[in-house]
Amino acid sequence: MFLVICGSRAGNPDRQGEAGAYELLLNPWARSAGLHTISTSMIRGVESMRLNVAGLVHIPKTQVLIGHTRYLVGTGINLNAVGFGQRLGQNGALGLSLMAMDFGDIPITTTDQPEGTGATFSPSFFHLGISYAHIFDNKVSVGFTFRTISESTADLSAQGVALDAGVQYVTGPQDNFKFGISLRNVGTPMRFGGEGLSFRATNPDGTINYDLSYNQRAATFELPSVLNIGASYDIHVNTRNRISILGNFTSNSFSQDALGAGVEYSFNDIFMLRGAYRYDLGSNQNGIINNVYSGLAAGVTLEVPFSEKNDTRFAIDYGYRATSTWNGTHNLTLRFTL
């Protein structure tokens, strides 16, 4: 008789790499990126549509975000995003978001010309999301996002739809304690199709020598669904200084689960400094690092009010995430709150 002892692993490493459309996990907004996208419980405004849409309802009236990200500096990949949120009545908010990836000009190579044909191509990846959030008794907020996904090149394309849902709960004498849960990227499988999957070959029976056109069928792939559970606590040192401590657990359907912790300091809601660390469970087994991010993230915000009620504000957010290869990811966001 043999006794086999197996160590348990978090997440689903056996399914790693089986999903597609992983750009759904990329974050184009600097404020939450500076906390390594672990602010599930405390995220607010338009950028919450990328992590926990329940936070969308926490806008005074209108909010517009413009974001640019240099993703993994050295790869030449950029993310561009625009978001809009509008308060509806006392308890609701509607949002619209668009994110597109810029891969630059990629040289076209063939087996006969491996150094390039002189022509280039650029894939087109973009997402369009429509969100709604509602708050109950100023304590519990819920939200939903319907997102369309498009990935294409000159002769191949794939389309899909995804649904995000989230909830946030606040309590305490000054709403100090916050708790949030979000489920993201639950949607239809996607499949590539188009002329790029066609090829010409000779007649298979061989009796007459002539060419035929054949169409290949690509396999379907699932979306990278993810569950986030987070909590945070605000320490109000005085009326001007706040320190927020937060933690987060991420369950990935197609990769390792992750734990994260962070802290944010705010001076009078004008200057904010934040940092976080995220660890993928099981990522360093046998000395092998499976994640491009090293775990460290940091960010800063400068927010300027333009009215005595502080309901009209302009902010610049910056976020940085360190990577084990390449030269990190830089996020910059302009935020207008009206």
Average pLDDT over all residues of the chain: 90
Query: Are the beta carbons of 162 and 182 closer than 8 angstroms?
Result: no
Distance CA 336, CA 313 (A): 6
Question: Do both 203 and 166 map to the same domain?
Answer: no
- What pLDDT shows up at residue 9? 44
The reply to whether 247 falls in a domain is yes
Question: Do both 180 and 297 map to the same domain?
Answer: yes
3-state secondary structure of 15: helix
- What pLDDT shows up at residue 17? 66
Question: Do both 202 and 269 map to the same domain?
Answer: no
The reply to whether 4 falls in a domain is no
Res. 150 pLDDT band, cuts 50 70 90: very high
- What pLDDT shows up at residue 288? 55
- What pLDDT shows up at residue 146? 98
Q: At residue 10, does pLDDT exceed 70?
A: no
**pLDDT tens-digit profile of 161-219?**
999 999 999 999 999 999 999 999 999 899 999 888 887 777 777 677 777 777 888 88
Question: Do both 156 and 252 map to the same domain?
Answer: yes
What proportions of the chain, in percent to the nearest 5, are helix, strand and coil? 10, 55, 40
- What pLDDT shows up at residue 40? 98
Paired residues of 125 in beta bridges = 101, 151
Question: Do both 177 and 211 map to the same domain?
Answer: no
What are the C-alpha distances in Å from 10 to residues 15, 31, 90, 185, 252?
12, 28, 42, 20, 9
Question: Do both 49 and 114 map to the same domain?
Answer: yes
Question: Do both 99 and 141 map to the same domain?
Answer: yes
Q: At residue 325, does pLDDT exceed 50?
A: yes
Check residue 225 and give left, alpha or beta (phi > 0: left; psi -120 to 50: alpha). beta
Give which of 229, 230, 45 is closest to 133, Cα–Cα: 45
Question: Do both 275 and 212 map to the same domain?
Answer: no
The reply to whether 126 falls in a domain is yes
- What pLDDT shows up at residue 265? 98
- What pLDDT shows up at residue 7? 36
Give which of 253, 186, 174, 234 is closest to 39, Cα–Cα: 234
- What pLDDT shows up at residue 69? 98
The CA-based dihedral angle spanning residues 129, 277, 77, 23, taken in that order and rounded to the nearest 10 degrees: -30
Structure tokens at 215: 């169409």
- What pLDDT shows up at residue 16? 67
For the chain, give the number of residues. Answer: 338
Structure tokens at 133: 């959030």
**pLDDT tens-digit profile of 239-292?**
999 999 999 999 998 888 999 999 999 999 999 999 999 998 876 665 555 678
Which carries the bigger pLDDT value, residue 287 or residue 129?
A: 129
> pLDDT over 90 for what percent of the chain?
70
Backbone angles phi, psi at 44, to 5 degrees: -135, 150
Domain with residue 184: its CATH number is 2.40.160.60
- What pLDDT shows up at residue 1? 30
Q: Cβ-count burial of 267 within 10 angstroms (0-12 exposed, 13-18 middle, 19+ buried)?
A: exposed
- What pLDDT shows up at residue 4? 32
- What pLDDT shows up at residue 156? 92
Question: Do both 331 and 184 map to the same domain?
Answer: yes
- What pLDDT shows up at residue 131? 98
Res. 116 pLDDT band, cuts 50 70 90: confident
- What pLDDT shows up at residue 8? 38
Query: Are the beta carbons of 203 and 212 closer than 8 angstroms?
Result: yes
**pLDDT tens-digit profile of 36-87?**
999 999 999 999 999 999 999 999 999 999 999 999 999 999 999 999 999 9
- If one counts the domains in the chain, the total is 2
Mean pLDDT of 84-92: 95
Q: Which domain holds residue 204?
A: 197-222
Question: Do both 158 and 201 map to the same domain?
Answer: no
Sign of CA dihedral 78, 35, 293, 169: negative
The reply to whether 21 falls in a domain is no
The reply to whether 5 falls in a domain is no
- What pLDDT shows up at residue 206? 66
Question: Do both 229 and 211 map to the same domain?
Answer: no
Amino acid at 181: I
The reply to whether 154 falls in a domain is yes
**pTM greater than the 0.85 cutoff:** yes
Distance CA 267, CA 243 (A): 9
Cα angle for residues 30, 80, 272 (degrees, 5° grid) = 15
| HSE toward the beta carbon, residue 161, CA cutoff 13 A | 4
Query: Are the beta carbons of 172 and 44 closer than 8 angstroms?
Result: no
